[in-house]
DNA sequence: CCTCTAATATGATGTGCATCATATAAATGC
DNA sequence: GCATTTATATGATGCACATCATATTAGAGG
């Protein structure tokens, strides 16, 4: 092989990361192949040497996005007990910071409504990510109540998502604060 | 005028209703002008006699969708006290029926994630609808706690939205049931 | 029954996009 | 430094769509 052994793999990774960001920022249908390739300094034609089609890229990008936030949370909560980990998670997820940066946030808060309309490979990637996150939360909860974990995640994503629709910043912040409190109550962290 | 006085207005209404359904089913960007006109038995060209452009239609369709569900809930909860109205609302909103029929459901559960990326007129219509719904819930709550109302709405929409991503029907139903219970707890309806 | 005008249809234009066939260029091993 | 092969670029194709200019038709008023 003439390019370095790792060159193609590196390019693929870069494309994937750009896509993971772009998909969250503009949605699966709002983003174009050419745009993502340009982001990496390439042109659109080379794309098909890395992915069979756009749908495969989007699916991989969603896996990547979930993977990124998953690793981040593992890192930040490593060594904590369940109670502390849950509290940390809420304080990182249900925030203005998350609301204001969908492109590096949780795919659920950013893509929930449009994902059911995507093709099967994309939906599958999304569900994998959702289930992994539910699993993580479940392990942190007393008695490992999976149903509760899912419902808590719904509340967190719903709060971030709805706060993005509220133009009055103070009201949006208040919504997030109310949600954090409700979540910690449900988790048994506060009374 | 040669057509009956009300003809144009009736056509506009029909287009609007078709759009309100289509926008929820396929998203603002997933739906085409020609498709909506065909739904009403017309061709695409006539569209611009009714709306200046697609964006205006989408904004009007979102108003219409919020209006439809608003009127429906007013009708169903008319005469109830706050407690009973809230309980009824939860039992209608956080359901499998709602999950399975986005095209006639709440625009928040169907459009939340992609709406922040729409143009201003569409975002404004959406926020009007959100605020109206928050207002309705607020009036039903003891002490009229607006922040709580918003947070409750986030949890409801989040639960329906997330349940749409879960392919295992039983698990999705369980998520909805858990959410209903959590919501009624927060509303002070059950212990 | 005919006229006239508002409502709708036809068809064209331009744009953006995914995909692919083919051309070019990069850089390693010789 | 050259040949070879692999990565990337160029450019073409076809489709879906919004928009608009122009043509046609429906049908109430005379």
Answer whether B114 sits within 8 Å of A156, measured CB to CB: no
Q: Is A42 helix (H, G, I), strand (E, B) or coil?
A: coil
A76: how many CB neighbours lie within 10 A of its CB? 12
Nearest nucleotide to A45, CA against C1' atoms:
D9
With a CB-CB cutoff of 8 Å, which residues 47-106 of chain A face chain B? Answer: 102
C-alpha separations of A172 from A34, A154, A178, B135 in Å: 35, 18, 10, 15
Q: Say if residues B50 and B11 touch (Cβ distance below 8 Å).
A: yes
Q: Say if residues A90 and A182 touch (Cβ distance below 8 Å).
A: no
For the cut 80, the answer to whether the pLDDT of residue A131 exceeds it is yes
Min distance A14 CA to chain B CA atoms (Å): 25
Nearest to A165 among B127, B161, B175 (CB): B127
What does the CA dihedral A129, A163, B106, B167 come to, rounded to 10 degrees?
10
**Within its chain, how far is the Cα of A27 from the centroid?**
12
Q: What is the pLDDT of residues A158-171, one digit of tens each?
A: 999 999 999 999 99
d(C-alpha A94, C-alpha A98), whole Å:
7
Q: Say if residues B86 and B141 touch (Cβ distance below 8 Å).
A: yes
**Stated in angstroms, how far is A8 CA from D5 C1'?**
14
Give the closest residue to C8 (Cα–C1′).
B46
Answer whether B165 sits within 8 Å of A26, measured CB to CB: no
C-alpha separations of B74 from A47, A170, A182 in Å: 52, 29, 27
If pLDDT is split at 50, 70 and 90, which confidence band does A145 have? confident
Q: What is the rounded average pLDDT for all residues in chain A?
A: 94
Q: Say if residues B161 and B130 touch (Cβ distance below 8 Å).
A: no
Maximal CA-CA distance, chain A: 64
| Residue A157: predicted pLDDT | 98
Look up residue A170 and give its two tokens.
């103070």
d(C-alpha B21, C-alpha B62), whole Å:
9
Please, how many CA atoms are within 13 Å of residue A188, restricted to the half-sphere of its CB? 9
Helix (H) or strand (E) holding B62: helix B54-77
Q: What is the reported pTM?
A: 0.93
| Residue B191: predicted pLDDT | 78
Q: Is A13 helix (H, G, I), strand (E, B) or coil?
A: helix
d(C-alpha A166, C-alpha A173), whole Å:
9
| Residue A175: predicted pLDDT | 94
d(C-alpha A2, C-alpha A111), whole Å:
40
| Residue A9: predicted pLDDT | 86
Residue A161 CB contacts under 8 Å (≥ 6 apart), including other chains: A109, A110, A112, A113, B112, B113, B154, B157, B158, B161
Strand D closer than 7 Å to the CB of A32? Answer: no
| Residue A3: predicted pLDDT | 62
| Residue A146: predicted pLDDT | 84
**Within its chain, how far is the Cα of B149 from the centroid?**
17
For the cut 70, the answer to whether the pLDDT of residue A29 exceeds it is yes
Nearest to A162 among B153, B159, B164 (CB): B153
Query: Chain B within 8 Å of A149 (Cβ-Cβ)?
Result: no
Q: What is the mean pLDDT of residues A118-127?
A: 97
Give the closest residue to D3 (Cα–C1′).
A2
Nearest to B27 among A108, A114, A126 (CB): A114
What tens-digit pLDDT sequence spans chain B (191 residues)? Answer: 566 667 788 999 999 999 999 999 999 999 999 999 999 999 998 999 999 999 999 999 999 999 999 999 999 998 999 999 999 999 999 999 999 999 999 999 999 999 999 999 999 999 999 999 999 999 999 987 888 999 999 999 999 999 999 999 999 999 999 999 999 998 999 87
d(C-alpha A183, C-alpha B13), whole Å:
42
A141: how many CB neighbours lie within 10 A of its CB? 19
């Amino acid at each position: 092989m003439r390019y370095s052994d790792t060159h193609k793999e590196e390019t693929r990774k870069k494309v994937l990361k750009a896509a993971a960001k772009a998909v969250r920022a503009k949605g699966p249908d709002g983003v174009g192949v050419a745009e993502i390739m340009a982001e990496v300094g390439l042109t659109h034609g080379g794309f098909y040497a890395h992915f069979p089609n756009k749908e495969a890229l989007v699916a991989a990008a969603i896996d990547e996005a979930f993977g990124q936030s998953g690793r981040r949370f593992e890192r930040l909560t490593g060594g904590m007990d369940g109670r502390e980990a849950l509290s940390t998670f809420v304080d990182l997820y249900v925030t203005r910071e998350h609301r204001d940066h969908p492109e590096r946030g949780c795919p659920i808060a950013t893509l929930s409504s449009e994902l059911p309309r995507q093709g099967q490979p994309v939906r599958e990637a999304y569900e994998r990510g959702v289930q992994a996150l539910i699993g993580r939360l479940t392990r942190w909860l007393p008695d490992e109540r999976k149903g509760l974990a899912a419902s808590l995640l719904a509340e967190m994503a719903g709060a971030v998502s709805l706060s993005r629709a509220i133009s009055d910043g103070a009201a949006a912040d208040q919504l997030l604060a109310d949600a954090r409190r409700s979540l910690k109550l449900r988790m048994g962290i506060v009374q």
